[in-house]
Structure 1
Amino acid sequence: METGVEQGDRLVEPKTQLLLSVVVPVFNEDDVLSEFYSRLSSVLSDIEMRHEVVFVNDGSVDNTLSIIESLRCADANIAVVDLTRNFGKEIALTAGLDHARGDAVINIDADLQDPPELIPQLVKKWQEGYDVVYATRTERRGESGLRKLSASIFYRLIHWSASVQIPQDTGDYRLLSRRATNALLRLREQHRFMKGLFSWIGYPQTGIPYQREPRGAGCSKWNYWQLWNFALEGLTSFTTVPLKVASYVGAITATLAFLYGIKIIGTTLIYGDPVAGYPTLMVTVLFIGGVQLLSIGVLGEYMARIFDESKKRPLYLVKTYQPAENIKPDG
């Protein structure tokens, strides 16, 4: 691969036909799209590679789609994938990767928390030979203390428990080489925890630290209930630790119950048979019942995912697809 050279802050690439694709999943982002596009296009104009920007409209109900279409009328490097409804960010990101034709593909959100100005550094690392270049957050500005704490706990928990090493404090903002993208697109599971899938494919990977900025406008589309479900998605997709914990808790509970039973028998033989305490009986029954229900719930989470995967439904449906006019179909 030919490598570029730096001149000041600008990345200069020898004249080449390499194509850079930028995938942008959007959902109700009409209040920030124009500024995002302005900053993104400014960055891309300083990288001497052909480029396309693939906007994926994930069932927006505001003016997001009309803004994207107006941007496309003025910029022939923009492609639009309009999904039939809201499928969720992980699926929308997959749809964008499916339609991206670049030799390198960058995933980025439109809310400006992930600065487009970091893209030249991602490209430079790719030119050095890395297949996956991810952006690691050193600071999360504009977020509440509770959200920062919960995110920190989740990333460290998934990093500790997952079957693959998932980088801590790292979102979806990253660059993928073409071979890494093709490998990722072979994974068509319904329950998609993209941060784990990015790590699962392997290949040489490296990170770039950055400070995450507050949203450019509007508010986050993720509430705490959605974040909780997202955390469950990650834990059940890439680790069987919850099942093991349920087994261990059940074994410990059974052992304690057995020892307690021996104690009762011994006490009865030595001191007689007093009337058993009602509070003790209720606490014991409720505790064991709670453990059983919790274990059944953990099993249910995994079984629900097996059920969804068995139906073999497509990940998403596309209403319309408008490719970038400046990019030939053969790429």
Structure 2
Amino acid sequence: MTQSIAPETTVKLSLIVPVFNEAETVSLFINSISTVFDKEPLVDLEILFINDGSTDDTLLRLLELQSIDNRIQIIELSRNFGKEAALTAGLQICSGQIIVPIDVDLQDPPQLIPAMITKWREGYEVVLGRRIDRDSDSWAKRSSANLFYRIHNKMTSSKIPENVGDFRLMDKCVVEAIKELPESRRFMKGLFAWVGFKTTYINYSRPQRSAGTSKFNGWKLWNFALEGITSFSTDPLKIWTYLGLTFSAISFLFAIFIALKVIIHGADVPGYASIMVAVTFLGGLQLIGIGILGEYLGRTYIESKRRPVFIIRQIYRGKR
């Protein structure tokens, strides 16, 4: 899509909503969605919940809501595959002309979607929701996120927009392009950025969660960051090559210094402490380098198996 869309044209919108143990929040989410879209007669709405292996009453609550709201479609995965896989499942099955991935905790405000649709009607194929206020996040989370964006964007050619999550509007042509990407280890923010297309932003302040607790912890976020960097850049391997060359040069110069010292002043007994420092330091560098190689090798090994990103247990379709 490259031309603007007439404002009086009815459009089908698919909301992709991954959920994992969110029984407390799904009702609040549907109420908020209804408040927004009951006033939008030109939007044919599909709400696609992806139940990512929830162990609480999330599925039962969704089925109750579906019985009174036929806009709700439920994809139940066979186990917890993770948010990236759940998003992929939603993108594979959605039928909308425009698609919006959105969190169920209402930290991505549904009230912003009509403004996104207006931008899409103007001819944009991607409309990003950009957070300008992250006071709802802890200082550690804000700082680590900013550091990740800086490091990632320094190392990769496809830049991830800062303070932009999965919350965005995408034209169907963008989703079709993403569906053509075959990798099984999927860092969706990177894939969204890699495909490109005509893009604009809408700024918003990120509110607190409506209910429940976040399923991400520090360890998961760390692994998520590693996935993002290793999926789109080989710079860590290059950096280790340069480090190896640098320390080899330093060692060679130090060897020359020792040889000249022995020639001029005679032999001396080397210090035990300096030897131990050198051995442990260089040994540590080698182990880190092996670890980085292992990260890439492990991802190559997983990709080579060509396992599916997700497995669907059942699809519950609303009667429309």
Q: What TM bracket, shorter-length normalisation?
A: over 0.9
What amino acid maps onto 1:127 in structure 2?
Answer: R
In the alignment, what sits opposite 2:178?
184
Tell me the secondary structure at the aligned position of residue 61 of structure 1: coil
| 1:279-327 per-position Cα deviation (integer Å, ceiling 9, x unaligned) | 111111111111111111111100101000000111110010123432x
> Given the alignment, which residue of 68, 78, 103 partners 2:72?
78
**Runs of 4+, deviation exceeding 3 Å:** none
Report the number of matched residues.
316
Are 1:3 and 2:6 matched, yes or no?
yes
- Give the counterpart letter for 2:163 in structure 1: D
Match in the other structure for 1:266:
260
Residue 238 of structure 2 is aligned to residue 244 of structure 1? yes
The aligned residue for residue 129 of structure 2 is: 135
Partner SS state of residue 188, structure 1: coil
> What corresponds to 1:10 in structure 2?
none
Q: Deviations over 1:229-279 (max 9, x none)?
A: 000000001111211111111111111111111111111111111011111
Change in 2 beyond 3 A, CA 1:318/1:245:
same
Paired amino acid for 1:182: E
Tell whether the 8 Å contact from 2:153 to 2:159 is kept in structure 1 after alignment. Answer: yes
Do structure 1's residue 206 and structure 2's residue 200 form an aligned pair? yes
Is the aligned partner of 1:110 residue 2:104?
A: yes
Distance in 2, matches of 1:165 and 1:188, equals: 20
C-alpha separation between the residues in 2 aligned to 1:2 and 1:253? 59
The normalised TM-score by structure 1 is 0.93
Distance 1:51 1:217 in 2: 24
Partner Cα separation in structure 1 for residue 183 and residue 172 of structure 2: 20
Q: Does 1:100 align with 2:103?
A: no
Partner of 2:154: 160
| Structure 1: gaps of 5 or more residues | 5-13, 327-331
Please list, as runs of the form range in 1=range in 2, the aligned pairs for 1:302-313 lying within 5 A after superposition.
302-313=296-307
Provide the C-alpha distance between the structure 1 equivalents of 2:133 and 2:154, rounded to a whole number of angstroms: 21
Q: Tell me, in whole angstroms, the C-alpha distance in 2 between the residues paired with 1:69 and 1:96.
A: 18
1:36 aligns with 2:39: no
2:120 matches 1:120:
no
Distance 2:49 2:275 in 1: 61
Distance 2:98 2:73 in 1: 16
**Structure 1 residue 87 corresponds to structure 2 residue 81:** yes
Residue matched to 2:216:
222
Tell me which residue corresponds to 1:235: 229
Question: 1:21 is matched with which residue: 6, 14, 21?
Answer: 14
Distance in 2 between the 1:27 and 1:113 partners?
16
1:15, distance to aligned residue in structure 2 (A): 4.9
Deviation at 1:106, TM superposition (A): 0.4
Q: Any idea what the Cα deviations from partners look like across 1:126-157, whole Å, max 9, x if unmatched?
A: 11111111111111132211111111111222
% same residue: 45
Distance in 1 (CA, whole Å) between partners of 2:65 and 2:153 is 39
Partners of 2:197 and 2:227 lie apart in 1 by 24
Q: Which amino acid counterpart does residue 168 of structure 2 have in structure 1?
A: R
Equivalent residue runs for 1:167-178 within 5 Å: 167-178=161-172
- Name the CA distance, whole Å, in 1 between partners of 2:207 and 2:107: 5
1:56 aligns with 2:59: no
TM-score, normalization by structure 2? 0.96
Query: How many angstroms apart in 2 are the aligned matches of 1:157 and 1:37?
Result: 37
